[in-house]
Structure 1
């Protein structure tokens, strides 16, 4: 099975935006995040947070990003930066908090699993999460978790780019799963 990085080089011309992963919802924002990660890493296995954070390409995406610091003992993730759009959707300001301190994100949870998978793989991980919140216009959360390493090898931060899948509505404006009767 090809990974996203291989898809960007198929025939030397294809991009992840055109080919994508079969069955995976497509997102220009996630593709741009992955391309930024690839460009920033250069010859290293992973780019450093300092290289990504200084990139002008990150600025338009920043409202829909999260940065986590990896805690090693015990293993955990600390919220370092929360984009403005993510802060608006959140029920709380998690800046500085550990993921294990957030009841619906501590293990076992899909959020934890997706972050841990990127650390273990030392490679980008795409995922889809159900949206649980107040907005009736958001169906799910699409994201890519991008591992970062100051030394190019040891994961120390994660950049998460988030896109929001809108609820599909019928022509009359109703949700397609509205119960009749």
Structure 2
């Protein structure tokens, strides 16, 4: 996991709201989520969930997820799932932990990105492949924003997701075909 920690963005106290995090992928939605998170931080290292919802009550965007963090042993429980994310999931994960979802338990990129944000106590941007039924989604860009009620321990993570369009060849066909 230490190789993922280099992805953690160090909080730039000189950053202007909307400046976003450095690195790939560039996404207006992810940059806006980061700017809102920075604003909610105020002078603290991390905001609490109530700080985010008080300042930005509409932050539970259709493309966000809120997960609670279990510390020992580390695990993540789905609390809230935005409507757009719910529409592309094969199952309603609300109330489930990542360790209960076979393709999300360790080792997985999803787990690694969430754990890296908890360890670094800083936002993490990442990309994960999309495997599902929606033909309108080619990949998932996300930012994991740590939240803390006591200002020290990460007890929740807010994940904002930007859905990448599917990759198509010049003739409009997908680059791979499904056999069978």
Instruction: Tell me the TM-score normalised to structure 1 length.
Output: 0.85
1: CA distance between counterparts of 2:104 and 2:52?
A: 25
What pairs with 1:119-138 in structure 2 (closer than 5 Å)?
Answer: 119-138=118-137
Higher relative contact order (CA 8 A, sep 6+): 2
Residues 115, 145 of structure 1: 8 Å contact kept: yes
SS at match of 2:150: coil
Please tell me whether residue 173 in structure 1 is matched to residue 179 in structure 2: no
1: CA distance between counterparts of 2:18 and 2:135?
A: 36
Residues 7, 14 of structure 1: 8 Å contact kept: no
Q: Which residue of 2 aligns with 1:54?
A: 54
CA drift at 1:167 = 1.7
Deviations 1:109-164, CA, capped at 9 Å, x for gaps: 11100000000000000000001011122111000000000111211000000000
Please tell me whether residue 42 in structure 1 is matched to residue 42 in structure 2: yes
Residues 68, 157 of structure 2: 8 Å contact kept: yes
2: CA distance between counterparts of 1:13 and 1:96?
A: 33
CA drift at 1:25 = 1.9
2: CA distance between counterparts of 1:167 and 1:4?
A: 31
Structure 1: segments with no counterpart, 5+ residues: none
Q: Would the alpha carbon gap of residues 4 and 31 (structure 1) be closer, same or farther in structure 2, given more than 3 Å must change?
A: farther
How well do the aligned residues superpose, as a CA RMSD in angstroms? 2.5
Q: Would the alpha carbon gap of residues 7 and 171 (structure 1) be closer, same or farther in structure 2, given more than 3 Å must change?
A: farther
1: CA distance between counterparts of 2:173 and 2:122?
A: 40
The alignment of Structure 1 onto Structure 2 pairs a total of residues equal to 171
1: CA distance between counterparts of 2:39 and 2:48?
A: 11
Q: Which residue of 1 aligns with 2:63?
A: 64
Structure 2: segments with no counterpart, 5+ residues: 1-5
2: CA distance between counterparts of 1:16 and 1:8?
A: 12
Please tell me whether residue 32 in structure 1 is matched to residue 32 in structure 2: yes
Deviations 1:85-114, CA, capped at 9 Å, x for gaps: 111011111111111001110111111000
Q: Would the alpha carbon gap of residues 105 and 41 (structure 1) be closer, same or farther in structure 2, given more than 3 Å must change?
A: same
Q: Which residue of 2 aligns with 1:112?
A: 111
Instruction: Tell me the TM-score normalised to structure 2 length.
Output: 0.85
CA drift at 1:82 = 0.5
Residues 44, 152 of structure 1: 8 Å contact kept: yes
Q: Which residue of 1 aligns with 2:3?
A: none
CA drift at 1:7 = 9.5
